[in-house]
Structure 1
Amino acid sequence: MEAVAQTPTDFEEEKMSSYNHAELQSRLAFLLMSAYRQQYSILTELDFEFASGKTRPDLSILPKRKADWLADEIVVQDIPLTTIEIFSPEQSLNSLTERIYKKHFPAGVKSVWLVVPTVQTVSILLPDKRQMNFADGVVNDPVTGIQLNLSDIFEG
């Protein structure tokens, strides 16, 4: 059987996932939904088309809105309050932070969580280039007020 060449879409090439990446994405979605689903819409792998470019964060936190089951959106125009990016083995830190500062923040995203599984840290990046790094204790997002225990995120 001959391999069929895939053409890249307008979105970033589909990144390969890993077990740890999938585990963290599922765990973060569960923790956030358990505590904040009344206040925010927490969505995974949603495609956004910003004026600054197209992107697909691992998780997005938007002001609460109801799903319209009769009219779906393939590419969302709304701007998330917060996006969460989980660093993957095949990514470079430079390309990930470049995407955050060139696409997410210019579009109006207020904070971005950068989750680094290998060192079990979360950094919250802000548009003014400030960042907060969490290696233990409680991750506290100053934009959304979301708080999660780092030990719950990286529970063994």
Structure 2
Amino acid sequence: METPVVSTPELEEEKMSSLNHAELQSRLAFLLMLSYRSEYSILTELDLEFASGKTRPDLCIFPKRTLDWMADEIVVHDVPLVTIEILSPEQSLNSLIDRIYKKHFPAGVKTVWIVSPALQIITIFLPDRQRINFTEGVITDPAIGIQINLAEVFEG
């Protein structure tokens, strides 16, 4: 007799990656680190746990952190300034938006970027449900002022 698969919120939150997803995650981390590594810590695939729930954004931007290489954290409870989510081919946009308004913003995240690879759009979501769509030019985060050129993100 087979054991039934039990669905849990943690399992439902797992997302599948893809070639484009991995490339965008690497590019965003590189471009952000290139310009902002002295001011911010840019971290990928970090497990976060807030009072509002567990989540694992593709990228997180924190104020510059000093690392202790002798002591690691498996789950981080500090709240990032910005989280970045890259829409995966198998992921629902509605479930992603639901997660950011139920977990990220209640925890105190200032802005959340959703990157839509197929449309080559980056949308910055704000806690008050406003959003800013970028289809070209320079993306500017209204909360912390970081900037990144959209053409470099989606280059060739």
Aligned residues: 154
Kindly indicate whether residue 90 of structure 2 is the aligned counterpart of residue 66 of structure 1. no
Normalising by structure 2, we get a TM-score of 0.93
CA change 1:126–1:35 in 2 (3 A) is: same
- The equivalent residue for 2:46 is 46
Q: Once the two structures are aligned, what percentage of the paired residues are identical? A: 69
**Residues 52 and 155 (structure 1), Cα distance of their counterparts in 2 relative to 1, 3 Å cut:** same
Task: Name the CA shift for 1:67/1:88 in 2 (closer, same or farther; >3 Å).
Answer: same
RMSD, aligned CA = 1.8
Partner of 2:90: 90
Shift of 1:72: 0.4
Match of 2:77 in 1: 77
Cα-to-partner distance string for 1:1-53 (whole Å, 9 max, x where unaligned): xxx99877763443211000000000000000000000000000000001000
Q: Indicate conservation of the 8 Å contact 1:47/1:54, yes or no.
A: yes
User: What letter is aligned with 2:143?
Assistant: V
Structure 1 residues 22 and 5, CA gap change in structure 2 (3 angstroms): farther
Contact 1:33 1:42 in 2 (8 A): yes
- Give the TM-score taking structure 1 as reference length: 0.93
In the alignment, structure 2 segments of 5+ residues that lack a partner are none
Unaligned runs of 5+ in 1: none
In 1, the alpha carbon distance for the partners of 2:41 and 2:11 equals 23
